[in-house]
Structure 1
Amino acid sequence: MLSRTASDLYWMSRYLERAENLARMLDVSYSLSLMPQDGRGDGLDEMAMPLLITGTLDDYLERHGKLHAERLLHFFALDASNPASIYSCLGAARASAHAVRGRITADMWENINSTWLEIRGIAEQGLGRYGLSRFCEWIKERSHLFRGASYGTIMRNDAFRFIRLGTFIERADNTLRLVDARYEMLGDEAESVDESSARSYYQWSALLRALSSFEAYTEIYRDAPSAHNVAELLLLRADVPRSLRACTEEIDQILASLPGLNGRPAQRLAAELDARLRYTGIGEILDEGLHAWLTEFIPKVAELGNAIHSSYLEAV
């Protein structure tokens, strides 16, 4: 497969996954901002969390001066001039899909093209009239439909593999950043032996719901969410679809199935990351410090993404 084609397929799926992850992040931050803040602020700190996670806080402040709920929601969801907005991600995904129209199925193209046309209509209407929760659910629904169309209609060839690869690289990075952000938001409470406070419960529950893992948590642990159990579930459980371990396992298997020798650096790094998670216990992570461990692992995923780009997506 030509590197340019592989790149467009890879980034098409990354941008679609990113749009869904941004919607999940925005929905949970908005919901938590509406809760009583217990003397910790007016809810804008919680609303600023997506900006901190995506590294766009400085850009927002430069353009808008101060945090304002309505402007912040528009900036993150529908601002065409913000390259990190959901609107921009869907536009980039549609452009990549158009470039490889002949390598994806009609169902896949129709889904992504209609999604782009609909979000343009929503942008004209305005988020205030459409509703944030409805908008976030719509984004997740469109992402689910695209993945279903991809899995159900495309041949199991290299195109399929690069689409899946982009999804899991983006998902791994998002899971790491969300766990770290929630842990930091709780502060000293995250390290407390007694994590039964209402704030701790809602923060960890919100994280689990943002990653569609709340039902999995209640089935496995049954206890109220805690840093130990949530971190174990979202980092080390291979049977949880959005966990870090599930993502690295998929990436390792996909890279191993790609032909040629150019991919060896990426394959080796993916195997190392997967083995590290496979043989690491949650106790070891917490002894090192969850924030320190996550801060170390986030660049590893970025390094893997760079290795994939160098091995497969750069024109030779």
Structure 2
Amino acid sequence: MLSRVAERVYWLARYIERIENTARLTKVHAQLMFDLPKSVEMSWYGLVQITSNEDYFAERFGDERSEQNCMALLLTDRNNPASLMSSLWWARENIRTTRDILPREAWIHINELYLLTKQRQNDFNERKKRNALLSEIIRACQAFTGMLAGTMSQNETYHFLKLGMYIERADMTTRLIDEGGLYVSQQQFDNEEDTYFASILWAHLLRSISSYFMYRLQYQTEISGPEVLQFLTQDEHFARSVNYCLHEIQGVMSKLPNSGALQKQVQQLQNRVLSEKALSIGSDQLHDHLDWIQRELSELNSLLYNTWFNPKQVA
């Protein structure tokens, strides 16, 4: 398999996962702002922070942190590589140039999704229409992932798809936890009513990554921050927890050549994630821990490039 083809397949999966996560995050954030009282401060700018686009936002919009500006940056700005439309465009380009190794239906599916979203781009300006379009995008991404899982051979192409998907998923999960912790740390939940609203916040966080139902099956008590943190970082069975993603990444890497150093790094990261037991929601220690995981995933991406996509030439 050519390294440039493997790279495009890897990024195809990352972009599809990013599109779905961005759509989920935006839709759930809108609902959360309706459910929480005015005393609980929340803004659309939190979505900009999750995607680490503060500098770019300031450059383009300054201090105008309106819903319209935040949605433009997060959903439609083609100059922002983390925006939904930018991710969708790049996903389409990557699958267009790898059509010879992927099911034909996969190209048709993504091309139709791109054309649909581009045609209805103005729907992002109106909240009701935006949520309806985001729901369609989420279903389309899920259908695409399921299509590949059910129709592809478990070969190197599929391994690189899974690799991209789980690295992107682990990174986004840490960002969501960090943002939820930030909201909690900014509030004064010192009475029973406010504690109830904290539970609403964590419930919406779970819903943003489709983990609410599985969480409730495992924990039969009231939703609490520490249990949400444990579930989303250390659970070994839930498909979107950081630990599960790292386990899957290591399993995929074991089936690819020259992956010894990569597997070792993933194992070290997984051990560190599982060893953290005393982190509290909204604390600086938790923020630093999640930030460290994100840096490690970025380092893993760089090592992955040096191993498979842009290996150093030996004289």
Deviation at 1:99, TM superposition (A): 1.2
Deviation at 1:284, TM superposition (A): 3.9
CA RMSD of aligned residues (A): 2.4
Distance across 2 between alignment mates of 1:95 and 1:298:
26
Instruction: Check if 1:137 corresponds to 2:131.
Output: no
Give the number of aligned pairs: 309
Alignment of 1:79-94 (within 5 A): 79-94=77-92
| Paired letter, 2:235 | R
Equivalent in the alignment of 1:219: 217
Deviations 1:106-142 (A, max 9, x none): 1211111111111111125554287121122112111
Change (3 A) 1:174 1:125: closer
Deviations 1:172-230 (A, max 9, x none): 00001110110111106699898971321111001100111111111111112111100
Alignment of 1:147-162 (within 5 A): 147-162=145-160
Distance across 2 between alignment mates of 1:196 and 1:37:
9
Partner SS for 1:225: coil
5+ residue gaps in structure 2?
none
Equivalent in the alignment of 1:312: 308
Q: Contact 2:19–2:87 at 8 Å: present in 1 too?
A: yes
**Could you tell me which of 261, 273, 277 is aligned with 1:283?**
277
Deviation at 1:71, TM superposition (A): 3.0
Change (3 A) 1:288 1:55: closer
Identity of aligned residues (%): 27
Instruction: Check if 1:4 corresponds to 2:35.
Output: no
5+ residue gaps in structure 1?
none
Distance across 2 between alignment mates of 1:129 and 1:277:
37
Change (3 A) 1:277 1:34: same
Alignment of 1:217-256 (within 5 A): 217-256=215-254
Q: TM-score, normalized by length of structure 2? A: 0.90
Equivalent in the alignment of 2:57: 60
Q: Contact 2:71–2:124 at 8 Å: present in 1 too?
A: no
| Paired letter, 1:283 | K
Q: Contact 2:178–2:290 at 8 Å: present in 1 too?
A: yes
Q: TM-score, normalized by length of structure 1? A: 0.90
Deviation at 1:311, TM superposition (A): 0.9
Instruction: Check if 1:301 corresponds to 2:297.
Output: yes
Change (3 A) 1:209 1:36: closer
Change (3 A) 1:2 1:191: farther
